[in-house]
Amino acid sequence: MEFLFISLIFKSQQVYYAKVILDEVFGYDNFVNEIIREKSNPKNYTKSGFGNIHDVIFFYSKSDNINWNRPLAQRAEEKIIIDFPFVDKDNRRYSTAPLHAPGAVVYSEVECLS
């Protein structure tokens, strides 16, 4: 069985142009899936506009016989409590996060990004 993993990094504006080229290189019919990887700490994005919050992974395979093992790992209870410190009425843990990026300023009653 042959296996190849290649990692290419593109700016977000270039990723779908790259997809067209990858289809030519690996074959359009060998495309299996687009995987979105959420970045762990994207809130420090300071450019005007939406934040760069995810990476895109294109998965190609020469074979129809794909063995996909879901990457799962048990989380320690202490880590869960730290990451999700609040508990709702149904005993489900959750966390809160700010919806603004650094540089937020307040103009009268409306919050705007600088």
Predicted confidence band at 20 (pLDDT cuts at 50, 70, 90)?
A: very high
- Contacts for 13-16 with beta carbons within 8 Å, 24 or more apart? 15/56
Q: Which of 17-21, 68-72, 99-103, 109-113 has the lowest mean pLDDT?
A: 109-113
Whether residue 24 is predicted with pLDDT greater than 80 in this model: the reply is: yes
Q: Which of 69, 58, 47, 48 is nearest to 14 (CA)?
A: 58
Cβ-contact 113, 48 below 8 angstroms = yes
Written as one letter, the residue type at 103 is G
pLDDT tens-place string over residues 38-94: 776 655 556 666 666 778 888 888 887 877 777 778 889 999 999 899 999 999 999
* Predicted local confidence at residue 112, as pLDDT: 45
Residue spans per domain, the chain: 15-63+73-113
